[in-house]
């Protein structure tokens, strides 16, 4: 356990007041700054996500609440990493963090509220998601992934539950839940087995050292599921699911085989079992299927990727983010 975390556990009421205050005369407090705080938007493994309205601006936000006393030391460490990584990000396809509050008992992570629900729910509710709409989601997802990878960050938990629509009637999506995100430079963490069974890249379950293309596998699983509305691994028990996922034995059944050939090739390419042969986010965006389905979005994405050099070795570090884009954080979130 680091000294920082010791501080967090033992002296919980000591947020870095200077940092949190924005120059005001008393420490900022979540309960004074937000109201209408009852409705639950989602329940995750470590935090509950609630709706709340800013007293000052009237803007409705989503607030991920971490109850510190109910978290283990490991969970606290993960929460700290999640917040540190998430607050350093700024991309149109990743939910932005507006602010972070810490009190004696809780940490509140204030994010943009995504009112359109999880992509998983839209896939489940509709009889079919038109291939164009699947491509629209996939391109946005690959943009988010290319951005993360250019900053040497892996998401490690890309699922249809962790992609949300901005609004009920639109098709803009954002990636959420940086709870498993990790730096590519953290060699130790890259041996950890984590993610959501069914979406995890085989090399993680095979306990091999892994890299950024684990996220591409998960994007492939999302694509498969959105296009077919079928489970990628047919398994009656969790043990069988684990085994098939570990071997990458995707069930390319009749529904999949009825898809246009280019869509099939796109999904198969992303679901290449050998990570060395699997495309990165840039080459996934160059696949004919997306280029044919949503040419304008793909062209814009290519320009965007070029702007931050997504294909070249990443140079951007957290400290290079413009200060204004970064919410102020309690000191213990920083490393
Ligand atoms: N910005 C948001 N706007 C609206 N709803 C959200 C937002 N962020 C999260 N949610 C909802 O809350 C759920 C849980 O959030 P999140 O995935 O971040 O929590 P978690 O504890 O990391 O979950 P898990 O690890 O179990 O996936 C999401 O699946 C989603 O339904
Ligand atoms: Mg989640």
Give the 3-state secondary structure of the chain: CCHHHHHHHHCCCCCCHHHHHCCCCCCCCHHHHEECCCCEEEECCCCEEEEEEECCCCCEEEEEEEEHHHCCHHHHHHHHHHHHHHHCCCCCCECCEEEEEECCCEEEEEEECCCCCEHHHHHHHCCCCCHHHHHHHHHHHHHHHHHHHHCCEECCCCCHHHEEECCCCCCCEEECCCCCCEECCCCCHHHCCCCCCCCCCHHHHCCCCCCCHHHHHHHHHHHHHHHHCCCCCCCCCHHHHHHHHHHCCCCCCHHHHCCCHHHHHHHHHHCCCCCCCCCCHHHHHCCHHHHHHCHHHHHHHHHHHHHCCCCCCCCCCHHHCCHHHCCCCCHHHCC
User: What pLDDT band is residue 307 in, cutting at 50, 70 and 90?
Assistant: confident
**CA 122 to ligand 1 center in whole angstroms:** 16
Check if 245 has its Cβ closer than 6 Å to any atom of ligand 1: no
What is the reported pLDDT for 309? 74
- b vs e for 78-110, b when ≥16 Cβ sit within 10 Å of the residue's Cβ? bbbbbbbbbbbbebebbbbbbbbbbeeebbbbb
Write down all domains in the chain, each with its CATH number in brackets.
5-113 (3.30.200.20), 117-308 (1.10.510.10)
Mean pLDDT throughout 103-107? Answer: 94
CA 14 to chain centre: 29
Q: Which has the higher per-residue pLDDT, 126 or 257?
A: 257
Instruction: Tell me: pLDDT of 322 over 50.
Output: no
What is the reported pLDDT for 23? 46
* Nearest CA residue ID for atom 12, ligand 1: 42
What is the reported pLDDT for 311? 58
* Nearest CA residue ID for atom 1, ligand 1: 113
Contact assessment for residue 301 and residue 142, using Cβ atoms and an 8 Å cutoff: yes
* Residue 70 burial (C-beta neighbours within 10 Å; 0-12, 13-18, 19+): exposed
Q: Which has the higher per-residue pLDDT, 324 or 105?
A: 105
User: What pLDDT band is residue 26 in, cutting at 50, 70 and 90?
Assistant: low
Kindly list the protein residues that place their beta carbon closer than 5 angstroms to ligand 2, a single-atom ion.
44, 162, 177
Neighbours of 315 (CB within 10 A): 11
pTM for the whole structure: 0.87
Instruction: Tell me: pLDDT of 90 over 80.
Output: yes
Task: Give the range among 34-48, 288-302, 313-327 with minimum mean pLDDT.
Answer: 313-327
Task: Give the range among 46-60, 226-240, 257-271, 306-320 with minimum mean pLDDT.
Answer: 306-320
Tell me phi and psi for residue 2, to 5 degrees: -80, 165
Percent of the chain scoring above 70 in pLDDT: 84
Contact assessment for residue 251 and residue 230, using Cβ atoms and an 8 Å cutoff: yes
Choosing from 37, 40, 41, 120 the residue with most ligand 1 atoms within 8 A of its CB, the one to mutate for a pocket test is: 41
- Taking only the tens place, the pLDDT of each residue in 241-296 is 999 999 999 999 999 999 999 999 999 999 999 999 999 999 999 999 999 999 99
Check if 81 has its Cβ closer than 6 Å to any atom of ligand 1: no
Q: Which has the higher per-residue pLDDT, 117 or 21?
A: 117
What is the reported pLDDT for 288? 97
**CA 61 to ligand 2 center in whole angstroms:** 17
Contact assessment for residue 135 and residue 158, using Cβ atoms and an 8 Å cutoff: no
**CA 332 to ligand 2 center in whole angstroms:** 24
Instruction: Tell me: pLDDT of 94 over 70.
Output: yes
Check if 83 has its Cβ closer than 6 Å to any atom of ligand 1: no
Task: Give the range among 35-39, 47-51, 72-76, 181-185 with minimum mean pLDDT.
Answer: 35-39
Q: Measured from the CA of 157, which atom of ligand 1 is nearest?
A: 27
Instruction: Tell me: pLDDT of 59 over 50.
Output: yes
What is the reported pLDDT for 37? 82
What is the reported pLDDT for 25? 53
Instruction: Tell me: pLDDT of 331 over 80.
Output: no
The span from the CA of 298 to the CA of 139, in Å, is 7
Mean pLDDT throughout 45-70? Answer: 94
- CA angle at 158 for the pair 154 and 162, rounded to the nearest 5°: 125
Residues designated catalytic: 157
Instruction: Tell me: pLDDT of 320 over 60.
Output: no
């Amino acid at each position: 356990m680091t000294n920082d975390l010791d501080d967090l556990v033992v002296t919980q009421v000591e947020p870095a007041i200077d940092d949190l205050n924005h120059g005001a005369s008393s420490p900022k407090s979540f309960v004074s700054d937000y109201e209408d705080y009852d409705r639950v938007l989602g329940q995750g493994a470590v935090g509950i996500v609630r709706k709340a309205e800013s007293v000052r601006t009237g803007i409705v936000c989503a607030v991920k609440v971490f109850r510190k006393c109910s978290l283990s030391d490991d969970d606290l460490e993960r929460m700290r990493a999640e917040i540190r990584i998430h607050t350093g990000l700024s991309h149109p396809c990743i939910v932005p963090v507006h602010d972070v509050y810490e009190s004696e008992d809780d940490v509140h992570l204030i994010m943009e509220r995504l009112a359109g629900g999880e992509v998983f729910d839209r896939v489940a509710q509709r009889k079919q998601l038109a291939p164009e709409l699947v491509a629209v989601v996939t391109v946005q997802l690959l943009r988010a992934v290319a951005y993360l990878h250019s900053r040497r960050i892996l998401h490690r938990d890309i699922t249809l539950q962790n992609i949300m629509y901005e609004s009920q009637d639109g098709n803009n999506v954002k990636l959420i839940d940086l709870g498993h995100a990790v730096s590519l430079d953290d060699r130790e963490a890259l041996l950890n087995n984590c993610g959501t069974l069914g979406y995890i890249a085989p090399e993680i379950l095979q306990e091999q050292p892994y890299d950024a293309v684990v996220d591409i596998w998960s994007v492939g699983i999302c694509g498969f599921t959105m296009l077919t509305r079928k489970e990628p691994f047919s398994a009656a028990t969790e043990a069988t699911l684990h085994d098939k996922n570990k071997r990458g034995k995707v069930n390319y059944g009749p529904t999949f085989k009825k898809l246009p050939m280019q869509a099939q090739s796109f999904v198969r390419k992303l679901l290449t079992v050998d990570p060395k042969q699997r495309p990165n986010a840039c080459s996934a965006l160059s696949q004919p299927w997306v280029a044919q389905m949503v040419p304008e979005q793909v062209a814009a994405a290519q320009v965007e990727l070029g702007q931050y050099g997504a294909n070249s070795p990443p140079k951007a570090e957290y400290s290079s983010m413009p200060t204004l884009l970064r919410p102020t954080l309690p000191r213990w979130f920083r490393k």
